[in-house]
């Protein structure tokens, strides 16, 4: 009973657990996201980033990122009160900011003096921990 009640109250986008699968049919996405399938089809026409692939039989197959996009769109529209145009613009801005994030630079190789300094620091930590153990 508790599990059923828990799943019924899980309507916020950040609380949806997406199963670990490659593809989801439109009915599965509709069920996961608590939306009718016609809303998903409409959103596909309104949000360019939402493009499920079609199977050989013409069935829409959503990827995990598509499901995450649906949940984000739902959050913007239903929880934050965006219009469709506003949500589309917001999603576009989010996608651009994700692409422009700077990569973390690889560390430069340490010099022998730096390695010696690190080793000395580690020895000091080891001595402190050893003293605590015996004391």
Give tens-digit pLDDT for 50-107.
999 998 898 999 999 999 999 999 999 999 999 999 999 999 888 877 665 555 666 6
pTM for the model stands at: 0.62
Q: Where are the domains of the chain?
A: 22-96
Nearest residue to 67 (alpha-carbon basis) of 98, 97, 100, 22: 22
Q: Which among 85, 4, 64, 78 has a CA at the least distance from the CA of 35?
A: 78
- Round the average pLDDT of the chain to a whole number and report it: 83
Which of 62, 63, 66, 91 has the alpha carbon at shortest distance from 76?
91
- Among 5-19, 37-51, 119-133, where is mean pLDDT lowest? 5-19
The per-residue pLDDT for 105 is 62
Tell me which CATH code domain 22-96 carries.
Answer: 1.10.1660.10
Mean pLDDT of 116-123: 92
């Amino acid at each position: 009973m508790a599990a059923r009640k828990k799943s019924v109250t899980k309507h916020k986008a950040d609380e949806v657990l997406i199963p670990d699968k490659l593809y989801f049919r439109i009915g599965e996405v509709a069920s996961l996201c608590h939306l009718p399938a016609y809303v998903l089809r409409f959103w596909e026409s309104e949000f360019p980033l939402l493009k499920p692939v079609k199977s050989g039989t013409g069935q829409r197959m959503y990827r995990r990122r598509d499901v995450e996009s649906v949940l984000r769109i739902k959050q913007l529209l239903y929880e934050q009160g965006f219009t469709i145009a506003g949500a589309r613009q917001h999603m576009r801005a989010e996608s651009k900011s994700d692409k422009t994030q700077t990569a973390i630079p690889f560390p430069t190789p340490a010099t022998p003096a730096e390695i010696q300094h690190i080793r000395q620091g580690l020895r000091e930590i080891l001595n402190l921990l050893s003293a605590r153990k015996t004391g």
